[in-house]
Structure 1
């Protein structure tokens, strides 16, 4: 049952029970008022009077919209309501966002007296508001929370809108496109969704590619919040080298991510935790996934989440995760997750509470938010974060082997030098780049690109490129103990992100199971 149908059912029962005051909490006044009008239009209530007050139109008959009196003030509407409650039974008056009723003030007490008067003669006061009601009012009645449209409701809104415009403009969307569009628009008000659809129609046609554009509209609607920022994707971000196993796994998850799961017990993918050697493409993988899946990418900055006051960090994380749910479907990137959720030396307990809050959301959220978390020091993470069932999978990203380095060198050579590298040069660079991470290869070839920019393409001789590589010192050479410790952990506890090693057990040298993710033109 959708939220609208469930809320309508509750509202209908409260009106039937003649609850003296009914609070309808919603940020969508038009949609909430439509729900109240639908309940009032039930045939069994045909003889019962319903009025509605808004600041713009004053007091009117809810069904016919005919004015009830000339006085459009709130005071006049309340006096009218008091008169009706005192002279007739089962009258209902609806007030749309009348005043600030969130605390004990004159307006709240006036409404409370009105509710008591209604209760004496089986009447009801309905308050449509986007703020909580004063506890003194809440105790006198019942409340209904009308959330934003879910995917099913949003689908109906889109289909109805497109049906009204068939024959007016060319519409290329299929039923599946409409359902995907509904998934994109979940989390925004119905009125905003209609405005977005109207914007598409206004350009003269509704094309297939417009489904993906909905993410841009949604992003503009939400703007930016502390701790959660939109990451702009570049055209080259979806080009990947290496990471064969990870890419195959992601291909299967993409099908589930975009599938219609109604009528099944399946839930959308939770995400993936990537651990491994620094500089081998863990962070860039989030961009690659978002670009290839054509989903917006948001970065959760755990450093910005931390607050100075008790409960502030938890509140900010809850707000950020709630926003991620509202902007879904999306990819949520958490870089170096151990820095925010490790908490081994945290005496305040904040990190432990953040871990619990994050894991609860990861376990219970049914929104299409695919989390890509990365970690360089996975040993500092709490064990419960690594347990099977938290993330969908744990992958280890290792140093690139010779085959991966060949692919990476070709990508970055073409990107920065803007030439096709000679086969003999590539063979020599593969040997010189033993122990290099993808970032080391990129840095070396970026320097070669700078040389070409300054001196021209003809000036770049093979000896210059070889010299740049020979003078590049990767982390595996400057800090070999740390790198080997990371690799030893990953071999035993995570799935290799790349292709299997050709010679397992052949030692711990660079040819043993290296993995990498890079991006090229």
Structure 2
């Protein structure tokens, strides 16, 4: 793994050391050749580039030295010249079928062996693995997509020259935000996106949102990930003030310079608690509030029938999420996808998946904010709950009286219903003791359905009370299950409501954790 400056330094050392075979892993051929041309001028060595469209050309002068465009012809020309002159370097940009033992890889192997004797160097630019026997003759180096620093330079190179011809409202902070948004795209992808925005004749601060949308389209079909479309106008979370305050602080860290303090970007949050209390809605709310694309990782679809297939799919999905950064990665009911790690007959697949996920969670520095939700905490692998995996562990409990009132008012307003009297509202709050947020939504929705069928004139205090009385919450149908969940949360998690457990009227057990704000 290497970004441009590190890649240039390492590749330059390889050229100086006359490594006979270099495998360059990258999907950006033009960007690789740009670096190679700079190295050629700095260390003054002859370098020739072969392509299927132009044959072999001198990278300094772009002069053709061999018109044979075939791979075999290019390799033969390279060997003939290496035999006559020392310290020649040939780069092949389009070599296929080199993953296995075949005539192409053997031909290349033979050429490298001859290059060893004359100090020659043969490089290939590829995205595939190389036949192991060939690869052992040389070294491999990877050029990653531009990071934020390099992307900032790319953005400025594309935009600043047009300041005299079109209105550009961007300031330095906007350039930095654009670079953060476009990071991990290829250089040509970023240039295309910026050119498309400037083609309308101006560049405004509102275009920053369009950059995010354009990048989102490029990653809309990521394997293992599902793009979740959200409507910010319909997303409102009530009652989780503690979680929202904590998220406001984390949002600032997404754009802050954390390198000086050796900090990594916010990693994510694990939401556990009672079903139907807004955990999944919170993931959508975060993405909408932070103006980031939301991807859902479906662990059920990751599982394959063959040995190693599930792990490979998870690895590819997480790598794709890194490329789509900055984004929010939502893992709903994570315990169902990783529960096998606590004991199952899947041959250890779930255990390996947990290890792979935790390694990525710990080591990845991409701006991917993970929002994982869980209902049955007893099925969660213990190592997932260790401090440092997620930035924080929140418990979403049944709403208190004040929270229930806020939630009821929210859904009444959203469904455009007449507001009940103050006395009836207080009665609804009392009736809904033990209701989850989804139960409150269901009760108000029943009133809204009647209003659609018979008109708003039918909506009165009695209809509200009747609808609420018809709801039987999960806390009454499965009280033992709900109480076990709440007991677990009071001991191990921070209350998402922002109210300490000892002060909460819904709880008789003193909790140990609280959020630092």
TM-score normalised by length of structure 2: 0.93
How much has 1:280 moved relative to structure 2?
Answer: 0.8
- Give CA deviations for 1:368-395 in whole Å, capped at 9, x if unaligned: 1111111111122122211221111111
Q: 2: CA distance between counterparts of 1:417 and 1:512?
A: 39
Match of 1:223 among 220, 224, 231: 220
Match of 2:77 in 1: 80
Matched, 1:102 2:99: yes
**Residues 33 and 128, structure 1, Cα contact 8 Å, conserved in 2:** no
Moved more, 476-485 or 400-409: 476-485
How much has 1:493 moved relative to structure 2?
Answer: 2.0
Q: 1: CA distance between counterparts of 2:401 and 2:175?
A: 46
Change (3 A) 1:122 1:284: same
Greater RCO (CA < 8 Å, at least 6 residues apart): 1
Q: 1: CA distance between counterparts of 2:56 and 2:504?
A: 82
Matched, 1:201 2:173: no
Match of 1:437 in 2: 436
Match of 1:345 in 2: 343
Pairing 1:49-64 to 2, within 5 Å after superposition = 49-64=46-61
How much has 1:421 moved relative to structure 2?
Answer: 3.9
Q: 2: CA distance between counterparts of 1:272 and 1:91?
A: 54
Match of 2:514 in 1: none
Q: 1: CA distance between counterparts of 2:57 and 2:505?
A: 84
Matched, 1:161 2:158: yes
- Give CA deviations for 1:259-289 in whole Å, capped at 9, x if unaligned: 1223221111111111111111111110111
Match of 2:280 in 1: 283
Unmatched segments (≥5 aa) in structure 1: 514-521
Moved more, 444-453 or 95-104: 95-104
Aligned residue for 1:41, secondary structure, equals: helix
Match of 2:389 in 1: 390
Match of 1:37 in 2: 37
How much has 1:17 moved relative to structure 2?
Answer: 2.1
Aligned length: 509
**Residues 7 and 145, structure 1, Cα contact 8 Å, conserved in 2:** yes
Q: 2: CA distance between counterparts of 1:501 and 1:271?
A: 22
Change (3 A) 1:359 1:82: closer
Moved more, 220-229 or 310-319: 220-229
Match of 2:267 in 1: 270
Match of 1:17 in 2: 17
Alignment RMSD: 2.2
Q: 1: CA distance between counterparts of 2:210 and 2:504?
A: 49
Aligned residue for 1:342, secondary structure, equals: helix
Matched, 1:120 2:117: yes
TM-score normalised by length of structure 1: 0.92
**Residues 2 and 150, structure 1, Cα contact 8 Å, conserved in 2:** no
Q: 2: CA distance between counterparts of 1:283 and 1:464?
A: 29
How much has 1:462 moved relative to structure 2?
Answer: 1.9
Change (3 A) 1:479 1:77: closer
Q: 1: CA distance between counterparts of 2:17 and 2:183?
A: 33
Match of 1:332 in 2: 329
Match of 2:467 in 1: 468
Pairing 1:232-247 to 2, within 5 Å after superposition = 232-247=229-244
Pairing 1:312-461 to 2, within 5 Å after superposition = 312-343=309-340, 344-347=342-345, 348-461=347-460
**Residues 395 and 496, structure 2, Cα contact 8 Å, conserved in 1:** yes
Match of 2:144 in 1: 147
How much has 1:501 moved relative to structure 2?
Answer: 6.0
How much has 1:512 moved relative to structure 2?
Answer: 10
How much has 1:70 moved relative to structure 2?
Answer: 4.1
Q: 2: CA distance between counterparts of 1:229 and 1:402?
A: 36
Change (3 A) 1:346 1:283: same
Moved more, 60-69 or 128-137: 128-137
Aligned residue for 1:452, secondary structure, equals: helix
Aligned residue for 1:194, secondary structure, equals: helix
Aligned residue for 2:365, secondary structure, equals: coil
How much has 1:420 moved relative to structure 2?
Answer: 3.8
Matched, 1:298 2:295: yes
**Residues 2 and 144, structure 2, Cα contact 8 Å, conserved in 1:** no
**Residues 55 and 98, structure 1, Cα contact 8 Å, conserved in 2:** no
Unmatched segments (≥5 aa) in structure 2: 512-517
**Residues 29 and 125, structure 2, Cα contact 8 Å, conserved in 1:** yes
